Structure 1
């Protein structure tokens, strides 16, 4: 039977998500070491004082004196307490709220007043997630997030909710699932910062009545199914190729328009064609550093008569 129980605990630990393991391994008992040591010191000190007083009065240690010392020491530990710097203590009297004490030394009346809650007012870190949650386009994704929050009103944290730590965790998980269900998978992946802000506002609205304020929410990881990752990558590549082709087509359109304008200029002015021919030949000779054989049909453009005609044409503005 014992082996079966141990095996079930191991299986549950293996199936637990990293967030659940993190939350289960958090040690929240560190603030109790100081108060426990102080209570032990008070009990021992009061016990010794009562025993010394009994010995001074009776002149001997008796069983009755020992019992009285024990009862007084027990009552002292129930009356004198300390709260750590980060703690707020909610005290009830006859089952009704009495006051909030701490940090430091505080007193209670035994059997009449009780400590209902020790609220830790440090910044708390709660990991939460949404596993296999469907987006608005019906894609199951896994999202892990971290919530930073703190208790600012210990009275409300005690009176308004049964277990404020678990309630905050469940409220954050529910808000995350709702936010994922309203967005598509691409929006969840791209709008991470906006999702953080939306979650913070929603969780803050739910937890403020419990005396809890939300400092920030941070999405740590978004896991999309492997098959969908390949499809989204192919879609992104196709979109980039489409944009590249559109830019190339726009450039070719501009170039063709400029070529048409140049052709119209050359058609109206034969001299411009010859000047362009001469320029091309000059660039060829300059680039090659050698000589170029010019066909006889083009050599006329370099004759003196042709040059004089070109000069006259430029002067006349033709």
Structure 2
């Protein structure tokens, strides 16, 4: 029996979905139609006034037939004269078949014979998508949010090959993200972000290129790991760091031990070397503490210049 998510969890999921969708480009693009609609209205008004004026001149005044003809011409003019914005490509059909791609700027269509099938926005589009509670290869459920940057490069394919290219791109991106997560472990997903971005871009590009769409980049925004697993991974990382520190310390101690063995061999073979080392240590201790050491007179003879010179000569000669 499937466990139903609690209300806080459902609210968190809805909040994450809303956060992702805020990056989506406006699919309707209603603001981009202001210019074409205003132009169509202008054409209709001009055509209406021209035909109405001509009818009035011919008939000697305004008549019902003149008004009807003016309305008809204005209607036909709005169906024949169009403009496309700088970033738009317009797909025109003639009697249900593909005819041509027009835009940007002014273009004409034959009323009742030709119609606009698609206005493709060729600016860079942004689609936010994610994978909720998706299992990795080591069976860990994680949430991943990503952003897709893409654009339509072939308006004809975008019109003929897919019913709704915007929704299709979003679904293809979600599927590719889930597949990529399922093939990687949770640690690989967290560490290999750049590689995962590149992999997703290639997969989505392969799926959408037949629709006349090119993928510019894919960027993973956030990776959410369960809280209990975060503690386990943190402890594991801490243990790994301690292990590395102990290994480094062991290597250093090994090197120090080897140097001490070499020094012991030298001291064993040469008694004068031991005496020099003893005097050096004594000197360093006095120098560091700033104190005074009182030693027997017999031992102090070892600090005389003659004794030190003989010790140094013996070390140089190897005796």
Structures share a fold, TM > 0.5? yes
Query: Is the 8 Å Cα contact of residues 13 and 21 (structure 1) preserved in structure 2?
Result: no
Alpha-carbon RMSD across the aligned residues, in angstroms, is 2.2
- Segments of structure 2 that go 5 or more residues without pairing to the other structure are 1-10
Secondary structure of the structure 1 residue equivalent to 2:111: coil
Secondary structure of the structure 2 residue equivalent to 1:118: strand
Distance 1:314 1:22 in 2: 79
Distance 1:268 1:254 in 2: 22
Which of 12-21 and 270-279 deviates more? 12-21
Secondary structure of the structure 2 residue equivalent to 1:136: coil
Whether 1:268 and 2:269 are equivalent positions in the alignment is yes
Match of 2:179 in 1: 178
Which of 285-294 and 258-267 deviates more? 285-294
Which of 123-132 and 57-66 deviates more? 57-66
Superposed, 1:136-285 pairs within 5 Å as 136-285=137-286
Query: Is the 8 Å Cα contact of residues 135 and 142 (structure 2) preserved in structure 1?
Result: yes
Query: Is the 8 Å Cα contact of residues 143 and 219 (structure 1) preserved in structure 2?
Result: yes
Deviation string for 1:21-59 (max 9, x for gaps)?
Answer: 554866521210000000111111111111111100111
Match of 1:52 in 2: 53
Query: Is the 8 Å Cα contact of residues 154 and 212 (structure 2) preserved in structure 1?
Result: yes
Which of 299-308 and 206-215 deviates more? 299-308
Cα 1:307–1:54, aligned 2, differ >3 Å: closer, same or farther?
closer
The alignment of Structure 1 onto Structure 2 pairs a total of residues equal to 308
Distance 1:273 1:162 in 2: 92
Cα 1:82–1:24, aligned 2, differ >3 Å: closer, same or farther?
closer
Distance 2:263 2:237 in 1: 39
Cα 1:264–1:62, aligned 2, differ >3 Å: closer, same or farther?
same
C-alpha deviation, 1:18, in angstroms: 1.8
Secondary structure of the structure 1 residue equivalent to 2:285: helix
Distance 1:216 1:177 in 2: 17
Secondary structure of the structure 2 residue equivalent to 1:122: coil
Deviation string for 1:122-170 (max 9, x for gaps)?
Answer: 1111111111111111111111111111111100000011111111111
Distance 2:309 2:151 in 1: 93
Which of 303-312 and 84-93 deviates more? 303-312
Match of 1:71 in 2: 72
Distance 2:162 2:116 in 1: 16
Deviation string for 1:210-252 (max 9, x for gaps)?
Answer: 1111111111111111111111111111100110011011111
Match of 1:7 in 2: none
Which of 244-253 and 63-72 deviates more? 63-72
Deviation string for 1:276-310 (max 9, x for gaps)?
Answer: 11111222232233320225784463468855753
Superposed, 1:32-47 pairs within 5 Å as 32-47=33-48
- Segments of structure 1 that go 5 or more residues without pairing to the other structure are 1-10
Superposed, 1:282-293 pairs within 5 Å as 282-293=283-294
Cα 1:154–1:316, aligned 2, differ >3 Å: closer, same or farther?
closer
TM-score by length of 1: 0.90
Cα 1:15–1:247, aligned 2, differ >3 Å: closer, same or farther?
closer
Query: Is the 8 Å Cα contact of residues 200 and 218 (structure 2) preserved in structure 1?
Result: yes
Secondary structure of the structure 2 residue equivalent to 1:105: strand
Match of 2:3 in 1: none
Secondary structure of the structure 2 residue equivalent to 1:17: helix
Query: Is the 8 Å Cα contact of residues 86 and 120 (structure 1) preserved in structure 2?
Result: yes
Secondary structure of the structure 2 residue equivalent to 1:125: strand
Query: Is the 8 Å Cα contact of residues 25 and 125 (structure 2) preserved in structure 1?
Result: no
